[in-house]
Structure 1
Amino acid sequence: MTVRGLENFFKLRAFTQVFTFGPTFRAENSQSRRHLAEFYMVEAEISFIESLQDLMKVMEGLFKSATLTVLSNCPEDVELCHKFIAPGLKDRLEHMLKNNFLIISYTEAVEILKQASQNFTFTPEWGIDLHTEHEKYLVKHCGNIPVFVINYPLALKPFYMRDNEDGPQHTVAAVDLLVPGVGELFGGSLREERYRFLEQRLARLGLIEAYQWYLDLRQFGSVPHGGFGMGFERYLQCILGIDNIKDVIPFPRFTHSCLL
């Protein structure tokens, strides 16, 4: 959750749905085709939402409504990209818009990857985060329709994601939306609003002192809520067929490059 995500949480006290859009900054040393040091993100926080299914409806609705708006308002620009950069993408986009997005669990995703005939650079195992090669394979396996992967291991996700209380596996109510050509586009979760669960998890991580202020926000009760973030440049990559994220932003800033 970014600083803006926390700001959204505070706003939930007055508004049930809060959306923000603005720059986001990443500190990791990445030179990949889908990472920038500064990028733009749509972030949402929604109160009184108690299931991943409800959260995924908002995510799918945002993707489809935004895409339909772009296709209707900027047909010439989109057609130019599809003609010279990504032939056939228009049909693939229509295929995505016509069909309901698929849903699989993290556990199912790992089993699919283990049974794949493809040799991966990173061996898929339960408890290991999915890499870009895994994400792209899963989308192809699902017929090039966007696919939600839900219920990730607790150890892979931040402390604020809601505990599923599902025994030995111990997963959290997290969700990533994987799309053709890009991999992960959305990331979100239900938030842990239960004080006792938050306190216990922060204690296990040794973070009680650092995040006492976060606990205080829920000391006298909270509301069920969830949220997500969508990378804007990755979204443009998806609908325009641009392979490198540095080509969808006027001034790409990444490690060792901070041109104005």
Structure 2
Amino acid sequence: MEYVRQFPHLRCRTNAFSSLLRIRSEATTAIQSFFRDKGYVQIHTPVITSNDCEGAGELFQVEPTGHDSDDSNPHFFSVPAYLTVSGQLHLEVMAGAFSAVYTFGPTFRAEKSQSRRHLAEFYMVEAEIAFTESLDDLMKVMENLFKAATEHLLSFCAEDVELLHKYIAPEQRDQVDLMLKRKFNVISYTEAIDILKSSSQNFTFSTEWGCDLQTEHEKFLVKHCGNVPLFVINYPYELKPFYARDNQDQPNHTAAAVDLLVPGVGELCGGSLREERLNLLSQRLAQAGLQDSYAWYLQLREFGSVPHGGFGMGFERYLQCILGLNNIKDVIPFARFSHSCLL
């Protein structure tokens, strides 16, 4: 798999990669069918946006080549524009008109990483659900989506899945069967930190309350909890973006956020309830100095809102989890990452 990665124009002709592409195509169909059957409205969220949803600053800025700028407006658009890192904020707009919406498309991160986990261009499945005040509702959708898509693949792509399991990840089929059979586990972030601190393993990164969970922590927690998918809920408030709902709990100040961790990969899904209370959202945006650029976001609350929440699932990471492939570059037709944009 690693060797043929340098020949993106030819690797689709190998048995393993052609099987992967058929699985990828069928997984796309399975995900679309899941949301359609549940009554979700598909939204084509924009690839070009003026919003940095994640707030991480890892953005590709969009400007035309040979554009004649002027001093009054050096940009092609009226404001700086970027390739999207998430369709979430646009889905929140639509959740004010429909009770359940989703999008499935490319997203971009300008992260200078050549690790096995990261791509500069990848696909995200994102959903937003109105009239929910519970993380349980979000977790139910995540678990049902994962299991429904996987059962579809095992039914409609049995030979292709078997080929990859047999020659690349021989123990993965038992792992997949276990994930389908068992109910996903749920622990709080505080419980996760307690587990990490009480373990005898030496971690590279800190395991103190308030730290962000790293891949090594995520994989350890999954194994510790039975090697089945694991929901971690109620993260420290300061770790989450401005839109995450404030639990207003003391002494540990947390946000109503959830990550789904899976064997072999770590984080697969991330989501939260959204802050629908105008006064709290205004305070958070003011603290971050974002009240002007996100005035439209506040208007979604000013002009009528409901409790809502949503999540995103990395499509390539999902395929890695099901097929047992170690490198994310091997589950996408044309991999783009730092210092590499072949073809």
Could you tell me the TM-score, scaled by structure 2's length?
Answer: 0.74
3-state SS, counterpart of residue 196 of structure 1:
helix
Distance 1:14 1:248 in 2: 35
Alignment of structure 1 residues 151-230 onto 2, 5 Å: 151-230=234-313
Q: 1:216 to 1:13 in 2, by over 3 A?
A: closer
Deviation at 1:17, TM superposition (A): 1.0
Deviation at 1:259, TM superposition (A): 2.3
User: AA paired with 1:148?
Assistant: F
**Partner residue in 2 for 1:77:** 160
Q: Does 1:25 align with 2:108?
A: yes
Deviation at 1:7, TM superposition (A): 2.0
Distance 1:22 1:206 in 2: 30
**Partner residue in 2 for 1:146:** 229
Alignment of structure 1 residues 1-260 onto 2, 5 Å: 1=53, 2=85, 4-260=87-343
Identity of aligned residues (%): 72
User: AA paired with 1:187?
Assistant: G
Q: 1:11 to 1:86 in 2, by over 3 A?
A: same
Structure with more relative contact order (C-alpha pairs < 8 Å, separation 6 or more): 1
3-state SS, counterpart of residue 109 of structure 1:
helix
Q: Is contact 2:96-2:305 (8 Å) kept?
A: no
Deviations 1:234-254 (Å, cap 9, x if unpaired)?
A: 000000000000011111001
Runs of 4+ in 1 over 6 A off after TM superposition: none
Could you tell me the TM-score, scaled by structure 1's length?
Answer: 0.97
Deviation at 1:13, TM superposition (A): 2.7
Distance 2:101 2:290 in 1: 28
Deviations 1:120-171 (Å, cap 9, x if unpaired)?
A: 1112111110000000000000111100000000111100000001023110
Distance 1:221 1:164 in 2: 21
Distance 1:217 1:92 in 2: 43
Structure 1 residue runs without a partner (length 5+): none
Of 114-123 and 35-44, more deviation after overlay is shown by 114-123
Structure showing greater radius of gyration is 2
Distance 2:232 2:106 in 1: 26
